[in-house]
């Protein structure tokens, strides 16, 4: 990876004032909206924020990792600055490179979010695939995800420290499960942010290929790879459906093949092309003041469409018995639209900074 490998940022469309709602997956917004309504979540997050010192986390990063800058990993620094410019972040987050043979990228921090890339990731990916990864992490910053991701880390640490208290563990597990469900959906949103930062679907696909296990791309057939996602989605044995549920429960990210398929579909969509033309939601627009009900409606539509299009036998079972539930849900959402409960987002920092 050299300076000559980096395409000029001016060759990419920039998105002044872009709102994270422009690219966020509706299931992500719905999971966030649902999380706000879970009893006790706000109190837990506020308590965690007071128990841990963010300055200490930043100091550990400074002391343990290489901070990217003009004289240290200059190519990564260019990608960092250009990605922030394309997505119009108010502040360019610091990026660190940490010694780790695994492919890892994470964004943490509450007041000052920062990004950490593993050496395993930096050494394996080409420049434009790294741009996608950095753009993905910038998406976490813009969407305010860094706050919840940081608090989830702290919550997991706290869970280990109170593991000997049965009731305490049960309570924490409920909050952790809700946060993990949201986290998996948030990764789909930030894959879209990464694509907007690089505007190169093939580079995004190369990143997902590597995460799935590809090493030499000359030995990979792209149609066959994407066909794996269809095979995963179109299973016919209900036992496999149960296995899927159990497997994803412990995952912080959707499976790489599924992520690749989802993002390539979005890259081919009218929604993506419209954003590239400059027609997108902005942070200071009237449409930013959306009530909780709109996020819930978007999520409901997303899940409904996914269920209707699914061939998963377990999903079919749920769908066949869920007609009455859907009718009730429609009435509930109609109540919201008529001026029912509005967004009661707790003041826990969950919306984060842009």
Please list the rounded mean pLDDT of every run of 10 residues in the chain (354 residues): 51 94 85 64 62 73 94 98 97 96 90 93 96 97 82 70 51 69 87 97 96 90 90 64 56 84 95 97 69 54 50 44 43 48 42 40
pLDDT at res. 297:
57
User: Residue 317: which of 253, 236, 202, 210 has the closest Cα?
Assistant: 236
Identify the sign of the CA torsion 42, 160, 246, 256: positive
d(CA 234, CA 285): 40
Query: Domain map of the chain by residue range?
Result: 11-286
pLDDT at res. 171:
56
Task: Encode 86-108: b = buried (16+ Cβ within 10 Å), e = exposed.
Answer: bbebeeebbbbbbeeeebebbbb
User: Residue 4: which of 123, 132, 128, 138 has the closest Cα?
Assistant: 128
> In this structure, are strands 105-108 and 114-118 parallel, antiparallel, or unpaired?
antiparallel
DSSP-assigned beta bridge partners for residue 222: none
First to last CA, the chain: 30
User: Residue 174: which of 149, 155, 154 has the closest Cα?
Assistant: 155
Three-class SS of residue 67?
strand
User: Residue 44: which of 231, 237, 145, 177 has the closest Cα?
Assistant: 177
pLDDT at res. 232:
79
Which stretches does DSSP call E strand in the chain?
A: 66-67, 95-98, 105-108, 114-118
d(CA 112, CA 90): 12
pLDDT at res. 300:
52
pLDDT at res. 150:
76
Please, which residues have CB within 8 angstroms of residue 27's CB and are 6 or more apart in sequence?
A: 185, 188, 299, 302, 303
Token look-up 């009893």 returns: 39
The Cβ-side half-sphere exposure at 223, using a 13 Å CA radius, reads 0
Could you tell me the strand order of the sheet in which 95-98 lies? Answer: 66-67, 95-98, 114-118, 105-108
pLDDT at res. 122:
97
């Amino acid at each position: 990876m050299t300076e000559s490998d980096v395409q000029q940022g001016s060759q990419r469309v920039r998105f002044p004032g872009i709102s994270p709602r422009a690219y966020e997956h509706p299931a992500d917004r719905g999971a966030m909206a649902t999380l706000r309504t879970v009893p006790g979540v706000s109190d837990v997050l506020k308590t965690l924020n007071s128990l841990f010192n963010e300055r200490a986390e930043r100091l550990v990063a400074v002391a343990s990792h290489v901070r990217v800058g003009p004289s240290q990993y200059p190519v990564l620094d260019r990608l960092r600055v250009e990605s922030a410019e394309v997505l119009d972040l108010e502040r360019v987050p610091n990026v660190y490179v940490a010694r780790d043979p695994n492919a890892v990228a994470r964004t943490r921090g509450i007041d000052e979010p920062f990004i950490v890339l593993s050496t395993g990731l930096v050494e394996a990916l080409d420049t434009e695939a790294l741009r996608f990864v950095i753009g993905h992490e910038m998406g976490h910053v813009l969407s305010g995800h860094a706050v919840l991701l940081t608090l989830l880390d702290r919550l997991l640490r706290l869970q280990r420290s109170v593991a000997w208290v049965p009731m305490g563990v049960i309570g924490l597990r409920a909050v952790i499960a809700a946060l993990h469900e949201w986290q998996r959906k948030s990764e789909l949103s930030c894959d879209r942010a990464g694509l907007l930062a690089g505007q190169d679907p093939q580079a995004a696909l190369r990143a997902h290929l590597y995460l799935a296990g590809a090493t030499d791309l000359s030995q990979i057939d792209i149609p066959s790879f994407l066909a794996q996602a269809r095979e995963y989605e179109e299973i016919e044995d209900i036992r496999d459906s149960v296995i899927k549920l159990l497997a994803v429960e412990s995952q912080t990210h959707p499976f790489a093949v599924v992520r690749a398929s989802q993002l390539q579909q979005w890259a081919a969509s009218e929604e993506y092309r419209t954003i590239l033309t400059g027609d997108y939601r902005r942070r200071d627009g009237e449409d930013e003041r959306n009530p909780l009900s709109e996020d819930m409606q978007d999520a409901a539509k997303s899940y409904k469409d996914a269920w209707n299009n699914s061939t998963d036998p377990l999903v079919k079972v749920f769908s066949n018995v869920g007609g009455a539930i859907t009718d009730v849900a429609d009435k509930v959402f109609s109540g919201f639209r008529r001026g029912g409960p509005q967004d009661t987002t707790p003041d826990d920092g969950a919306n984060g900074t842009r």
